[in-house]
Amino acid sequence: MALRLAASALPLHVYDVAPAPLAELAAAGAEVAGSVAEAAAAVDVLCVMVRDDDQVREVLAEALPVARDGLTVVVHSTVAPGTPGELADLAARHGVQVLDAPVSGGAMGAADGTLAILVGGEDAAFAAARPALEVMGAKVVHAGPIGAGTRFKLARNLMHFVAFTAATEAQRLAEAAGLDLRALGDVVRHTDAITGGPGAIMHRETTAPIAPDDFWHGVFSHVVALGEKDLGFAVALADELGVDVPLARLAEQRLREGLGL
């Protein structure tokens, strides 16, 4: 993410506890600071990408006492739902604005500037940070007030990691059936790129039950017919091969209602 900023027209100051990234960024034209405080004192927008809530708090503890009036702190780390509001209240005492702006897209999206960046916070803070965010991300979503970016990311990652767990069930089933797991992975990536994967069903503005005359009733009725059929076959195959597939069984029970039918 910092390398994308270094390649832009925006002046960039950087700090990290590890020397190797700083050397790489210095070579890319960034100004290397000697501490968090030194970096924070030099900038109008401070982007923070660290591991967890405690590290975010450590960074702000160093940055806030030296911050310029009107500094905008952008927290890219995925933190607990209540943390952004706590940080915003703390920062406000120093005349500092906070955005929670977790990212989605992994190392690949960071490298090529195509991240989705999910932002919570006040309009003025979002406007201040937006030029930097649009360098790092191809989809920048102002999701709402402080905390909304984090809630957005948690909803997105719930699907991400449940899907990973479902993929492990599919792999166990395929392995027991004597299939090539790498070929299965290739097919999943190929078809998800065409259909959109789980996002293909996410076009409604509500999760309420669907009226029979609604366009989506017909679409999702077709999805359910195919899904219940294929899940039933997959569960039967799993039973035959002695493979435990609890998520598949749960999906078989909940698909219809989950889609609003």
Q: Which are the catalytic amino acids? A: 153
Q: How far apart are CA 82 and CA 147, in angstroms?
A: 7
In sequence order, what DSSP letters do the residues of 232-256 get, joined into one string?
Answer: HHHHHHHHHHT---HHHHHHHHHHH
Positive or negative torsion for Cα 13, 18, 21, 23: positive
Cα–Cα distance list, 99 to 16, 68, 122 (Å): 20, 16, 8
Tally of CB atoms within 10 A around 205: 5
β-strands 72-75, 45-48: how paired? parallel
Residue reference for tokens 């702190």: 73
Residue 177: how many CA atoms within 13 Å on its side-chain side? 17
